[in-house]
Amino acid sequence: MANIGYARISTIDQNQDLQLDALKSAGCDLIFQDSVSAVGTTRPGFDQALNKLTPGDALVVWKLDRAFRSTLDALTTWERLHKRGVKLMIATLGVVSDTPEGRFFFRGLASAAEFERDLISARTREGMAAAMRRGRHVGRPANTSREQLLTIRDELRGGQDIAMLAKTYRLSETVLRRRLKAHGFLSELELSDSGGS
C-alpha cells in the first residue's frame, strides 16, 4: 500500500514547494507533477499517478482544485478510484475517502455536483427559451441543404406525403416543416394541405 501524490501548478511563476511539502508530510512515496492549467487537455503527471495506483493505495492531492477541473470531475474520479480499491486523500483537509468522515465529505460533494448539474441544465433551458423567443434556431444545426429542401417542396406539391419525406431525410415532421417554412418554400397553409398535422 502506497501513497501516490499529485501536484499541479498552472503558471510559470507559481511554486510547487508548498504542495510538495504537504504531500511529503502526508507520507507520499512517489509524487507526480504537472505545470499546466486545470483545463489543459493533457496532464501527463496526473495520468501517470492514476496508472501507478493499485488496490489499497491512496491518491493524495494538496487541494481539490490542484487535481480536478470541477466538482463533478472530482466526484467521477473518486468513484473510479473507489471501484479500483484506491483511496483519495485531500492533504489540506485531512480527508481520506474510506473513513466515515471521508465518505460524508464525498457524499456532500456528490450533492454539490448534482446541484451544479441542475444549475447548468436550468441555465441551458433558460438560454434556449430566450433564443427561441428571439426567433433563433435552437438545437442541432440544420443538415438539410437548400437543394434538398427545394426537392422536398416539389415532391410535396406533387402530392408526396410529408411524413414519408421526413423519414426519407431522417428528420422529424416538425423539423422538416420548420426548415421549409424558414426557407420560405411553403406557407403553413400549404404544409397543412400536404398531409401530416
- Please give the pLDDT value at position 163: 84
Could you report the per-residue pLDDT of 131-153, keeping only the tens digit for each?
778 777 666 555 677 788 888 88
Torsion of CA 14, 20, 25, 27, to 10 degrees: 150
Q: pLDDT: is 169 or 196 the higher one?
A: 169
Among this protein's residues, is 197 annotated catalytic? no
In this predicted structure, the answer to whether residue 123 has a pLDDT above a threshold of 70 is yes
Residue 60's nearest CA partner among 101, 27, 109, 13 is 27
CB-hemisphere CA count at 13 Å for 153? 19
Domain ranges in the chain? 3-112, 146-192
In this predicted structure, the answer to whether residue 41 has a pLDDT above a threshold of 70 is no
Give whole-number Cα distances, 45 to 40, 51, 75, in Å. Answer: 12, 10, 19
CATH code for the domain defined by 3-112: 3.40.50.1390
Q: Work out the pLDDT band at 196, boundaries 50, 70, 90.
A: very low
